[in-house]
Amino acid sequence: MRWNYILFEIKMLVHNRKNWLLGIALILFFPIYYLQYSQTDIKTLQDQKNEEAEQFHSIFKAFPEEMRETKEGQEIYDNLTEQASLINMQRFYLWDEEDNDLYITDGLRLNKLRLDMHEAGNKGIHPNYIVPKQEIHKEVALLDYYQKHHISIVPDPFVASNYIPAALDTISGLPFGLIVLLIGSSMLLHDQQNRSLMIGLPVSFLQKVVSKVVIHLFLIFAFLVAGIGACSLYVGLKTGWGSFTSPVLLYSSGDFTAVSTVHYVLLQLLAFLLISLLLLVASVLVSRITKNLYTTVLFIVFLLLLPSLLLSAGIDGSWLRPLAMIDIGAVLSGEAAMRFASTSMDYKHAFLWFFGFTLAVNAVLYMKNKLQYTPR
């Protein structure tokens, strides 16, 4: 009977036009967003190194002359001089991919000198020209990855391998969550409209919920994968496929590591899967309480927005930070950790929270159903 019920739910889902429209919208987001993304003025590595070289004119001009007369001041000045020389050599190496190894070697030396300056207190340097430690560690992680895997240090930002992670980061958070909630909002609609008919089926409520959630989860993930596939095909034919071994920075436990694009995208997809499961189960619970589809969607959306609203208002809402991790793009990039000043807001903690929340919501749903139908 359970298999027949699953087939019945699939048939109902196939005839749900609203979900198909939402699915098509999700699929079309990826190629449509590329039209805007391709017009973005993305700073190249050459631009970055040119800016760094130009800054040294101001650094040397503002460096106190009296400091050069001391031993410490002369060491700092020599450090800055070597940094400027290394950056100019890197600018030269960028013209030829055969010089990648030299670029990486000089880059690692450059960042070592920058860290030495931090240890010395960055004396004599204007705060505007101090490279933050976090940015130094990011660059070192990328350089180590380039050196280990022997790939080009000047990737094309508009190829498919670089666009897909950017597009997934953009749609993560509330946009994707809203699509999931709207698709899952009608899971219990047919049962509520035909209660007398559905009560007679020899299938328990929890079995119905599991069937509905799994089917809707599969549908959402199918739409997401179809969107990524359409996007990859469109961008690949338009500008090129790129290299899926190229590095992407990943935040974890207060530090940054460079991982391949494939690794990063797989983490994104796993996160989308866990988020979809959590939101679908949560929508079932809330809709059982409110008995209203619109109220269910609005209530969950409000909960997801609450951590950011409290942060903007200057109110301590640290206990709600796990809800903010639904924006998995910000979590993976480290933006969420910086915004909420919490090193624990990384993908490992996010996955644990998503899984834990799902179990907790399931437990509440089970207890509610048990109490409701237990004779007194």
- As averages over each run of 10 residues, the pLDDT of the chain (376 residues) reads 68 82 93 89 87 91 85 90 94 82 93 93 88 93 92 84 93 94 77 52 71 90 94 88 90 91 96 96 88 86 90 81 92 92 91 94 85 58
Residue 130 DSSP label: P
Cβ of 295: how many Cβ atoms within 10 Å? Answer: 13
Asked whether the beta carbons of 285 and 364 are under 8 A apart, the reply is yes
Between vectors from CA 22 to CA 20 and to CA 28, what angle results, nearest 5°?
A: 100
Task: Look at the pTM and tell me if it is higher than 0.95.
Answer: no
Residue 343 DSSP label: T
Cβ of 91: how many Cβ atoms within 10 Å? Answer: 17
Predicted confidence at residue 2, as pLDDT, reads 65
**Which residue type does 177 have?**
G
- Give kind and range of the element (H or E) at residue 86: helix 71-93
Calculate the CA dihedral of residues 137, 138, 144, 150 and round it to 10 degrees: -170
Predicted confidence at residue 192, as pLDDT, reads 57
Tokens coding 185 = 């909002």
Tokens coding 366 = 């089970």
Predicted confidence at residue 3, as pLDDT, reads 66
SS3 255: strand
